[in-house]
Amino acid sequence: MSYSVKWKKSDVKFEDRFDKYLDPSFFQHRIHWFSIFNSFMMVIFLVGLVSMILMRTLRKDYARYSKEEEMDDMDRDLGDEYGWKQVHGDVFRPSSHPLIFSSLIGSGCQIFAVSLIVIIVAMIEDLYTERGSMLSTAIFVYAATSPVNGYFGGSLYARQGGRRWIKQMFIGAFLIPAMACGTAFFINFIAIYYHASRAIPFGTMVAVCCICFFVILPLNLVGTILGRNLSGQPNFPCRVNAVPRPIPEKKWFMEPAVIVCLGGILPFGSIFIEMYFIFTSFWAYKIYYVYGFMMLVLVILCIVTVCVTIVCTYFLLNAEDYRWQWTSFLSAASTAIYVYMYSFYYYFFKTKMYGLFQTSFYFGYMAVFSTALGIMCGAIGYMGTSAFVRKIYTNVKID
C-alpha cells in the first residue's frame, strides 16, 4: 500500500491552526452561559441570605447577651440562657482525630492552590494543544505547592495541641499522592493485562514515586516547620473548659449527620452543568478550552461552599453542639458524593463504555477526582467557618 501527499499553502496563522479541532458551538452554547448566570444569581441570593440571617440574628443574640450581662446573678439564674454563647468554653476544643483532620485540611488547601494556578496557566497558555501537557503542569504545580500543605496542616495540628507532628507531616504529604498513584497503578495493571495503549510505562511510575519522596516530602517538611513556628500558637478568643459540656437533645434535622448530607446539595447545584462539560472533554472526543468558565465556576463554588457551611455551623452552635470542625468539613466535602453519583448517571446514559477495563478506568479516576474535589471543598468550608466562629466569639462578652 502507498499514498501520496499534496501540500497546499494555508492562509491560517500557525497559532490559530488548532482552532479547527475546537467546538465553540458545544462549549459556548447558550446553556453554558445560562448555567454560569444561574450559578451567579444563586451566589448573590446565598450571600444576601447569609448576611441577612447572620446580621439580624447575631445582632439579636448580642443584644440578648449584653442584656443578660446587666442582670444580677439571681435574674440570670432564673433566665432561660440558650444559644451559641453557652458553648464558648468548648467551641475551640480540639477536634476528634486531630492528626487526620489537620492532614485533610492541609491537603485541601494545596488542591485549591493547584487548581487555581493550573487554571490561570491554562488561561494564559494554550495547554490543550499538546497531549498530556495539562497533567504534567498539574504534577509540577502540585509538587511545587507542597509547602502550602505543610504550612496549613502543620499550623492547625500545632494549634490543636498535637505532639506527633512528624507523623502528621508524612500523612499530609502522602495522602493525595498515595490515593492517586494507588488507583493509577491498579488501573495500570488491568491496562497491561489488556495490552492497552493507555498503560503507563514502568519508568514513569518510578519517576512519580521519586517526585513524591525527593520533592514533595522535603518541601512539605519546610512548610510544616514554618507553619508550626509562625502560626502554631493557640490564640483562641475564649478559654477552653477542662471538662467537656454535655450536648443536649435536639431535633433530628439538627444532627451533624443530617447537616453533612444536606450541605453538599447547593455547592453541587452550582457546578453540575460545568461537570457535564468537563466530563465530556475528559471521556469523549471534545477538547476543553474554556478555562475562563472554569475559573468562574471555581470562584462560585468557593463562595457557595463557605456560605452553606457558615449557616450549617450557626444552626449547630445554636443547638449547643460544639462539634463544628468535622461537621463544617464534611458538610462541604459531601459535594463529592453528589459528583460521584452524577458520574454514575453520566456513565450509563452519556457514554458507550463497557467491559472491565473501561469500567474500572472510568470509576477509578472518577473516584480520585471526586475525593480530591471533596477534600478541597471541605478545607474551603472549614477555613471560612473557622474565621466566622472566631469572629462571633471575639465580639461577645464572656465572664
If you average pLDDT over residues 164-185, what whole number do you get?
91
Q: What's the pLDDT score for residue 293?
A: 84
The upper half-sphere exposure of residue 157, i.e. CA atoms within 13 Å in the direction of its Cβ, equals 34
Rg (CA), the chain: 25
Contact 240, 165 (CB under 8 A): no
Residue appearing with cell numbers 432561660: 80
Residue 230 has pLDDT above 90, yes or no: no
Residue 72 has pLDDT above 60, yes or no: no
Contact 263, 237 (CB under 8 A): no
pLDDT single digits (tens) 274-313: 888 888 888 877 777 788 888 989 999 999 999 999 988 8
Q: What's the pLDDT score for residue 216?
A: 92
Q: Report how far apart the first and last C-alpha atoms of the chain are (Å, whole number).
A: 91
- 116 CB-near residues (< 8 Å, 6+ apart): 298
Residues composing the chain: 399
Q: List the domain boundaries for the chain.
A: 36-46+97-233+253-395
Report which of residues 88 and 230 the model is more confident about: 230
Q: Comparing C-alpha atoms, which of 288, 261, 265 is closest to residue 276?
A: 288
Contact 188, 144 (CB under 8 A): no
Contact 42, 266 (CB under 8 A): yes
Q: Please, which pLDDT band fits residue 68 given cuts at 50, 70 and 90?
A: low
If you average pLDDT over residues 327-355, what whole number do you get?
91
Flag the least confident range among 9-13, 150-154, 292-296. Answer: 9-13
Can you list the pairs that 386-391 forms with residues at least 24 positions away whose Cβ atoms lie under 8 Å? 386/328, 388/310, 388/313, 388/314, 389/91, 389/313, 389/317, 389/324, 390/236, 390/237
Give the phi and the psi of residue 13 in degrees, each rounded to 5. Answer: -65, 155
Could you count the other beta carbons within 10 Å of the beta carbon of residue 233?
Answer: 10
Residue 78 has pLDDT above 60, yes or no: no
d(CA 282, CA 370): 14
Q: What's the pLDDT score for residue 80?
A: 44
Report which of residues 227 and 73 the model is more confident about: 227
- What is the share, in percent, of the chain residues with pLDDT greater than 70? 92
Contact 84, 317 (CB under 8 A): yes
If you average pLDDT over residues 12-20, what whole number do you get?
73
Q: What's the pLDDT score for residue 398?
A: 61
Chain-centroid distance of CA 330 in Å reads 10
- Cell reading at 206: 518510578
In terms of average pLDDT, the best of 48-52, 174-178, 284-288 is 174-178
Q: What's the pLDDT score for residue 116?
A: 95
The residue type of 231 is: S
**Sign of the dihedral through C-alpha 9, 12, 13, 15:** negative
If you average pLDDT over residues 206-230, what whole number do you get?
91
d(CA 145, CA 181): 18
Q: What's the pLDDT score for residue 79?
A: 42
pLDDT single digits (tens) 79-127: 445 677 787 788 888 888 899 999 999 999 999 999 999 999 988 887 7
Separation in Å, CA 200 to CA 181, 325, 357, 365: 11, 39, 14, 14
Residue appearing with cell numbers 470562584: 299
Report which of residues 28 and 169 the model is more confident about: 169
If you average pLDDT over residues 349-357, what whole number do you get?
86
If you average pLDDT over residues 10-17, what whole number do you get?
76
Q: What's the pLDDT score for residue 290?
A: 80
Could you count the other beta carbons within 10 Å of the beta carbon of residue 72?
Answer: 7
Average pLDDT, the chain: 85
If you average pLDDT over residues 1-28, what whole number do you get?
78
Q: What's the pLDDT score for residue 77?
A: 46
Helices (H), the chain: 24-27, 30-70, 73-78, 98-124, 133-144, 146-159, 165-193, 202-211, 217-231, 256-263, 265-283, 291-318, 324-333, 335-350, 355-395
d(CA 171, CA 148): 14
If you average pLDDT over residues 54-73, what whole number do you get?
70
Q: What's the pLDDT score for residue 299?
A: 92
- What is the share, in percent, of the chain residues with pLDDT greater than 90? 35
Q: What's the pLDDT score for residue 131?
A: 72
The residue type of 316 is: L
If you average pLDDT over residues 354-373, what whole number do you get?
91
d(CA 399, CA 394): 13
If you average pLDDT over residues 195-205, what whole number do you get?
82
